Amino acid sequence: MATIDLASVAVREANQRIRDLAAKGEDIEVVNPDARHHIGVGLVRPVKLRIRGSAGYFCAGLTDGPRVEVDANVGWGLADNMLGGSVVVRGNAGAIAGVAIRGAEVVVHGNIGSRAGQVMKAGTLCAVGSANFMAGYMMYGGRIVILGDSGEKVGQDMTGGALFVGGRIQSLGTDATLTDMTEAEDAEIRAFLERYEIPFKGKFQKIVNAGKHLRYPRTEPRVRVMPYTVAASNDYWNARVREDIHVKAEIGRYRIRGYGAGRPLPHLTDIAFRKDVSAFDVPTDVIERVNMGTTLGDRFGAKPISLSMPVMIAPMSYGALSKSTKVALAMASRLSGISENTGEGGMTDAQREAAKTLIYQCLSGRLGWNIHDMQRAEGIEIYISQGAKPGLGGQLMAKKVTKEIARIRGIPEGIDLRSPSRHPDVLGADDLVIKVEEFREATGYRIPISVKLGAGRVRDDIKIAYKDGFDYVSLDGLQGSTGAAGHEVLEYVGIPTLSAIQEAMDALDEVGGRNKMPVVLMGGINDGVSAAKALALGAHAVAMGTSVLIAGGCIACLQCHIGHCVVGIATQDPEHEKRYNVPVEAQNMHRFLEHVRWQLAAVTHSLGYTDPHQITRDDLVALTPEAAAITRLPYVPTRRDGPVRSVKQAAAE
């Protein structure tokens, strides 16, 4: 057994040594742990790790397979997302012990803090002592065994799995209920206790989900969406308003649909280039003349994400989209030399193989989240919110929660999945600093870590992101789309993309971070011209989602939430998915991205630059009073008047 002394070694180095030793199959002992955070994070070998003392946050977090023993106490987030193996803590554990575990066995001989086992999917969390409030909060599966008292609101908003309480049940949480347990279950628990040498003679009470909140009680009538012009008219009680009222009177709740804000908003199309770009002939070799290569994410020494142009594929989940579509997106991203992003639903092997550069997103429900996929990603992104529904978690309607989706996400099949809105371990900005650190430990500080933010109070949020140590920010405006969200949230929560980038740059200027932390802008950016304007306003790159889906066959019917997508994109129904021709659509997406590249190059060249990052605000004017007020660009409405020449391609030189 090797010994690592944390009195003389930093955690970062200690974790590296632990991984190296584990790779050789050696057991490890950590002495003088001094309640340091992240001890053992990222360990994926079945070795024994003995911690001689107390550990801090996220002890044994993001691991698979090790057998960890802690002699004293641990801080919060014990065994975070542990897939397999075990942890035994001799003392007490802080809040969210066993958070998001997916198969591990976690035993705490003392008491456990609040929200133990939050969003766990599988495995066993056992407290020999008592639990604090909301044990099993939003758990999806597995079991929690509490030999002492339950704490208040036990099983609050749980979806699946069960809690077994040996002591007193202080109060049941919302949608939790007591039920009978079988002898087999009882025997299994007692065998578990015996295995961990925990004597217990008392009786258990079993708590499960009552099932009242898993599905929306009334199904929304399926209505194809009216033209956006209906709602954009000056007619106050227009047909869209009337339809909304009728539907709400039928279902008694807000309506749900796909896509983003549908109405016109102040946007990049409300600004123009000061020069008439169309007046310049575009040389046939324009792409060779403009340097489009873009890197992102080396603010803290990680290996940066390398893009052949300042464009990425926006995060979209497997779940909202079919597996075929995710693979087509991955193929297109490789063909065009840009990055693809997993979104919320986890990473499939097919997607991993198809993409060259794949960013792996971590959401609050930790659906599909695991250490192995983290380690095979080129970037990690912590999702705080998105432009389509900031302040709200993801929604995946029951029709799409198939067996396979349920498996990869670790949740029960066929529920109307409403993801939590907040990370179990990020209650404020300071928590995020430690979370970012955990991710860096888990991946050996190799890969960039970004944050995805829906645009709201951007000026303040960006400053926090800057201080929290992210490599870059993915900033998503109100125009950003989604597979399902409440109509009202899609339309009325958040600020438009145009104001988001302006506020972000103002904020970075205020803290001197303008050129230190890049911003990737997204939300309704769907061509190379808008991309060029976004770059001019300060974005380092843009991300495109919806437009790439349209290139790949989406018809913009906004019915993504229903799950019967007519072209096989936003569906998990095999009958519908087989309508999707992956290689053909991947080529279509690729060709569209190449057009975007050409447009971006043509604009850059026509403005007299050799790199789109050279375009600045000085090249822009505002066409509407709103855009002028938002961006503080000169308001030149007459710029609209001149006829736009047909762009010509110059003869080859």
Partner 1 sequence: MTVYDRARIAPAAVPPGLADDVQDVHFVPAPCQVACPIGTDAPSYIGYIWEGKVEEAFEAIVATNPFSSICGRVCDAPCEPACRRADSDGPIAIRNLKRFIMEKLGKSHRLPVREVTRRETIGIVGSGPAGLTAAQDLAEAGFEVHVYEMTDRLGGMMIWGIPAFRLPPSIIREDIDRMLSHCPGIKVHLNTALGRDVTLEQLKSRHDAVLLTIGAWWGKTMEIPGHRDARVIDGVKFLRQVNDGERPPMPETVIVVGGGDVAMDACRAAMRLPGCKHVKVLYRRGPAEMPARKDELEGAVKEGIEIVYNTQPVEVVATNERFALRCVTTALGEPGPDGRRRPVNVAGSERDIECGLVIMAVGQKTEQDDLASIGLMADDRVRTTWSTMRTADPKVFAAGDGAFGGSTIVKAMFHGHRVAYYIKALLDGIPDPLPYRTPYRTRRVPVSQDPKWEIFSRQHQEFHGLGQKPVEFPEIESTYDEQAAKDEAARCYRCDAETGSADYSVKNREEIFVLARTKPTDGVTGPTALSSRLQPKPDPFGPEHQPNLEDIVFLPANLSRLVIDPYRDACNIRSRLAGKLDLGLPIMVTGFDDAASELRHAVSAAVKAHGSAYLGRRAIAPDATWLQVLAAPQDRPSADAAGFAVLAARALAAGIPDKAKTGQLAGIVATRAELPKALPLALERELDFIVLDGTVGIAGAWPELKGRPDYAVLRDAIRILRKMNREEDIALIYFGGVRSGTDTAKLVALGANAVVVGTAMGLALAGEIVGDELGFYSDTPADQRNDMAESFLRALSAEATIMARCTGKTNVFNLEPEDLRSITLATARAVGVPLVGTREVAAAE
Residue at 620: amino acid letter: L
CB of 445 to partner 1, least distance (A): 23
Count of residues touching partner 1 (by CB under 8 A): 144
Phi, psi of 519 (to 5 degrees): -115, 130
Site for partner 1 in 400-419 (CB under 8 A): 418
User: Judged by CB under 8 A, which stretch of 88-96, 187-195, 499-507, 535-543 contacts partner 1?
Assistant: 499-507
Does residue 48 contact residue 28 with C-beta atoms inside 8 Å? yes
626 binds partner 1 (CB under 8 A): yes
Alpha helix locations (H) across 314-398? 323-335, 349-354, 371-375
Report the residue from 524, 538, 545, 612 that binds partner 1 according to the rule CB under 8 A: 524
Restricting to residues 263-302, name those near partner 1 by CB under 8 A.
263-267, 269-270, 272-273, 277-278, 282, 284
3-state secondary structure of 425: coil
Of 28, 37, 82, nearest to 56 (Cα)?
37
Q: What gap in Å lies between CA 448 and CA 445, rounded to an integer? A: 8
Strands 339-341 and 357-362: parallel
Quote the least distance from Cβ 318 to partner 1, whole Å: 20
Question: Does residue 361 touch partner 1 according to CB under 8 A?
Answer: no
Binding window for partner 1 (CB under 8 A); candidates: 81-89, 140-148, 513-521, 626-634: 626-634
Is residue 446 involved in binding partner 1 (CB under 8 A)? no
Hey, which residues between 583 and 612 contact partner 1 (CB under 8 A)?
584, 588-589, 591-592, 594-595, 597-599, 602-603
Q: How far apart are CA 360 and CA 88, in angstroms?
A: 30
Please tell me what DSSP assigns to residue 282: B
* Burial of 24 (C-beta count, 10 Å sphere; 0-12/13-18/19+): exposed
Could you tell me where the beta strands, DSSP code E, fall in 6-44?
28-31
Site stretch for partner 1 (CB under 8 A), options 144-152, 222-230, 293-301, 373-381: 222-230
46 or 227: CB nearest partner 1: 227
Q: Which two tokens stand for residue 1?
A: 């057994």
Residue type, 224: R
State how far the alpha carbon of 328 is from the alpha carbons of 332, 351, 354, in Å: 6, 8, 8
Question: Which long-range contacts link 614-618 to residues 24+ away (Cβ below 8 Å)?
Answer: 615/532, 615/535, 615/536, 616/536, 617/536, 617/537, 617/538, 618/274
The site map against partner 1 for 53-92 (x = CB under 8 A) is ----------------------------------------
Shortest distance (Å) from residue 200 CB to partner 1: 32
DSSP bridge partners of 179: 206
Please report whether residue 316 would count as binding partner 1 according to CB under 8 A: no
Question: How distant is the alpha carbon of residue 527 from its chain centre?
Answer: 24
558 forms part of the interface with partner 1 (CB under 8 A): yes
- Compute the distance between CA of residue 333 and CA of residue 219 in angstroms, rounded to an integer: 37
Q: Of the listed pieces 35-43, 73-81, 124-132, 545-553, which binds partner 1 according to CB under 8 A? A: 545-553
The single residue among 11, 101, 119, 231 that binds partner 1, judged by CB under 8 A, is 231
Q: Provide, rounded to whole angstroms, the least separation between the CB of residue 99 and partner 1.
A: 15
455: nearest Cα among 490, 496, 401: 496
* Interaction of residue 314 with partner 1, rule CB under 8 A: no
Least CB distance to partner 1 at residue 367 (A):
15
Q: Is 205 in the site for partner 1 (CB under 8 A)?
A: no
Instruction: Indicate whether 236 belongs to the interface with partner 1 (CB under 8 A).
Output: yes
Between residue 94 and residue 113, which ones bind partner 1 under the rule CB under 8 A? none
Binders of partner 1 among residues 131 to 170 (CB under 8 A) are 138, 156-157
Residue 546 binding partner 1, by CB under 8 A: yes
